[in-house]
């Protein structure tokens, strides 16, 4: 499974393909603080820091509120509880149910236990020191289409959702600005290696990083010490320069 640095390299390759003005004459060096350094003879060195936008919920917020998919939500919650009772692995997991499925042939308790058993089988060989993931679409109970899960060592929350039922919050520009300000505190450190500093904010890799629309984006003006700031939307395969 991929390490954190390998994941950053994947983000950078996606960024290269999506940015129309990417300077192809630069040599690429993967580093730390910043994560990527671009060098070209006679041109300013560019440092690129890569970070992720994570959904922050308050303590009273239910992450999986979904009035229209109450049954799915109950099953997923029950499966999560059964799994965590025996396994202490914080997963970001999503379940895709069959459209308009029903539980005439199976109780929700039995279905939840079957889901937990599948997840236990798939995670049995996980190396908890590294990023892991699995995708299962066969064999599955008839009510399901797919189960997909991610494990990231540095993210301790366990989030299980129904793909249809999951509520996706909009990207709040205030949250983005706070992230930019936080990363700006390291500008002096980045400048020790590079003359120009770019920030890539990644959205959509794991469930806690899934968002919906860019809320009130058009009128937003960010205060930043970075020379350029980009939002890389993984699920939409889209790059936005802020």
Average pLDDT, stretch 85-113?
A: 84
Nearest to 73 by CA among 146, 5, 159: 159
Give, for 238, the enclosing helix (H) or strand (E). Answer: strand 238-241
pLDDT at 221 > cutoff 90? no
**Alpha-carbon distances, residue 230 vs 89, 98, 241 (angstroms):** 32, 36, 4
For residue range 157-172, list pLDDT tens digits in order: 898 988 764 555 667 7
pLDDT at 241 > cutoff 60? yes
State the pTM of this model.
0.60
For residue range 115-158, list pLDDT tens digits in order: 999 999 999 999 999 999 999 988 999 889 899 999 988 888 89
Which neighbouring-strand residues pair with 15? Answer: none
């Amino acid at each position: 499974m991929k390490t954190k640095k390998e994941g950053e390299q994947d983000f950078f390759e996606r960024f290269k393909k999506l940015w129309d003005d990417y300077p192809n004459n630069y040599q690429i060096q993967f580093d730390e603080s910043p994560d990527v350094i671009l060098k070209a003879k006679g041109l300013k060195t560019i440092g690129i820091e890569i970070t992720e936008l994570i959904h922050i919920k308050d303590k009273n917020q239910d992450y999986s509120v979904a009035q229209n998919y109450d049954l799915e939500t109950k099953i997923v919650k029950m499966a999560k509880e059964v799994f965590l009772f025996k396994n202490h692995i914080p997963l970001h997991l999503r379940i895709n149910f069959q459209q308009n499925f029903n539980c005439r042939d199976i109780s929700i308790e039995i279905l939840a236990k079957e889901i937990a058993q599948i997840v236990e089988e798939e995670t049995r060989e996980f190396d908890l020191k590294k990023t892991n993931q699995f995708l299962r679409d066969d064999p599955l109970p008839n009510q399901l289409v797919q189960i997909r899960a991610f494990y990231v060592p540095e993210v301790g929350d366990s989030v299980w959702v129904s793909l249809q039922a999951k509520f996706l919050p909009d990207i709040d520009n205030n949250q983005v600005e706070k992230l930019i300000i936080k990363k700006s505190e390291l500008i002096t450190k980045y400048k020790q290696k590079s003359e120009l500093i770019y920030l890539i904010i990644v959205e959509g890799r794991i469930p806690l990083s899934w968002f919906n629309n860019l809320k009130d984006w058009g009128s937003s003006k960010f205060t930043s010490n970075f020379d350029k700031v980009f939002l890389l939307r993984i699920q939409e395969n889209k790059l936005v320069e802020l």
